[in-house]
Amino acid sequence: MIEVKNLTKKFGPHTAVDNISFVVNDGEILGFLGPNGAGKTTTMNIMTGFISATEGTVRINGYDILDEPVKAKKQLGYLPDVPPLYGDMTVKEYLDFVCDLKGVKKADRASMIDEIITTVKIKDVYKRLVKNLSKGYRQRVGLAQALVGFPEVLILDEPTVGLDPKQIIEMRDLIKRLGERHTVILSSHILSEVSAVCDRVMIINKGRIVATDTTEGLSGKADNSAQIITVKGNGADICQSLKEWAYIENAVIESDNKDGTYNIRVEGEKGFDIREIIGKALAEKNIPLLMLRPVALNLEEAFLKVINGEIEDMNVNNEEISDTATAEDIREEEE
């Protein structure tokens, strides 16, 4: 489990991370999203112990990354956006070097490395120089070093950046398989990738967590400025009648149900709830309204609306951990 509590990072007058708290549960794949400069990489760098926080704590399986760095980092495998590779080493030499850094016993190395290179599919380049590998293979070698020691937690920062479509699909499938054995935090700008791989999504903007939900929940958020209605009557006339009302920008037939009813998409001004206006418009013309439902957002639309502040109720509380005693807090109080 990863526990981030009241985390803040300041660079001079600039606050990169602003008092955020969250938990990543065992076996979960969390998608960590946000625009450039939102604080994603800073947060991950703090979580891995690469930089220190100004305030707050990070615990990896109960170990504080600042107070117990060796124990905490043994729980972690980290793949930054630029893999930390040495081009003049062969893949074999590099992974041996990483084993030295992580203190892997020599007796355990052969079987561990064999399993890792099989998992990430780099057996065929195992004895080649890293600098001669393609971008896709270098990403796989970077992931292999993160897996050395079989850490329980993997933090992956843009693991598919620069890859071609085929390599992206392969990396996506690999991450999904890794999620069966590890807790994974995945940062990516490719929202379709996040939707396909992650169990939950967390969005950070301007250093604050602004949304957290399942991928289905986030993409299924209602947008009350766009509605789908089912009505009985002349579809074209109904659309024209709706467009005559203030705050309604467009109305188009989505489907003719062939039974005298139509499904019509009605779009209003940005951020304006048009349900009541639709009801009044139809009632004035004595048009039967058989169904009205908000248009569900896809993940891309939901992401943009959250970042732009158009959706506020996104199941997030930046202080959810600080208000809840952890198991360790309770033990300390009892002692």
Q: What is the pLDDT of residues 268-303, one digit of tens each?
A: 987 789 999 999 999 999 999 999 988 877 777 777
pTM: 0.74
With residue 172 as reference, give the H or E element that holds it.
Answer: helix 165-178
- Under DSSP, the state recorded for 90 is B
Which of 17-21, 228-232, 285-289, 302-306 shows the lowest per-residue confidence on average (mean pLDDT)? 302-306
Cα–Cα distance measured from residue 246 to residue 249, given in angstroms and rounded to the nearest whole number: 8
Residue 86 has pLDDT above 50, yes or no: yes
**Confidence tier at 320 by pLDDT (50, 70, 90):** very low
CA distances from 97 to 92, 127, 148, 219, 282 (A): 9, 14, 10, 43, 72
Domains and CATH numbers, the chain: 2-75+151-219+309-334 (3.40.50.300), 222-296 (3.30.70.3100)
